[in-house]
Amino acid sequence: MARTAIFWQSIATSLGRVLQGFVFAMIAGILIAALSAKLKIFYRLVLPAINTINAVPIASFTILALMAFHSSNLSIFVAFVTVLPIVFYNTFKGIKNTDPKLLEMANVFNVPTHKKILKIYVKTVAPYVASAANAGIGFAWKSGIAAELIGVVRGTIGANLHNARIFLNTADLFAWTIAIVLLSYTMERLFRLLFKKTLGESLL
């Protein structure tokens, strides 16, 4: 299968869409957590929605998404809703665990807001965000492929798994499963190394 163009095109399509959903979830989760930590009323409004997203099964989200928009965006949406709660909970916890004495000292010395964010909040929250990203990338990948399989999104890994099941092609089924496992492991390792290097440099 690795000798065929369809194999690599399917991997590129699935990988690109899953990563889009993952990146969107990271950005949205951090922003929502920051606003929730700053505004109690916003936190009270958004928390039930985040808890609901976290509780709804992937299959339900997939079916609802199929009814709402084109199937080509299915894995982006499902990866997004899978990772969003993870990023939100971790980031919010990191912000709340920021040392109040450091913040008080910064206020006493009139440290500008942008420096307070970079020197205090970022250093405190960064490990929590990295932990969320390490866990989230694996969930995004698995949920994205599952969504493609349920929605039979053409030109993706999920669609190829569906075809292998329909035609009882055991060899292809195992081949795609091995490819999924290898890609998931590779992505998790790459993100772990990336965040380890970034955190190491940012915390110096």
Give 39-80 pLDDT, tens digit per residue. Answer: 999 999 999 999 999 998 888 888 888 888 777 888 999 999
Angle between helices 170-202 and 122-151 (to 10 degrees): 170
> What is the reported pLDDT for 202?
47
90, 131 in Cβ contact below 8 A?
yes
Query: Does residue 199 have a pLDDT over 70?
Result: no
> What is the reported pLDDT for 119?
73
Distance CA 164, CA 83 (A): 28
Stretch 150-168: mean pLDDT:
91
Least confident of 91-95, 119-123, 167-171: 119-123
**Residue 39 — φ and ψ, nearest 5°?**
-120, 115
CATH domain 5-202 topology: MetI-like fold (1.10.3720)
Distance CA 55, CA 82 (A): 10
What's the sign of the alpha-carbon dihedral 165, 166, 168, 173? Answer: negative
**Residue 13 — φ and ψ, nearest 5°?**
-65, -50
Sequence ranges of the domains in the chain: 5-202
User: Does pTM surpass 0.75?
Assistant: yes
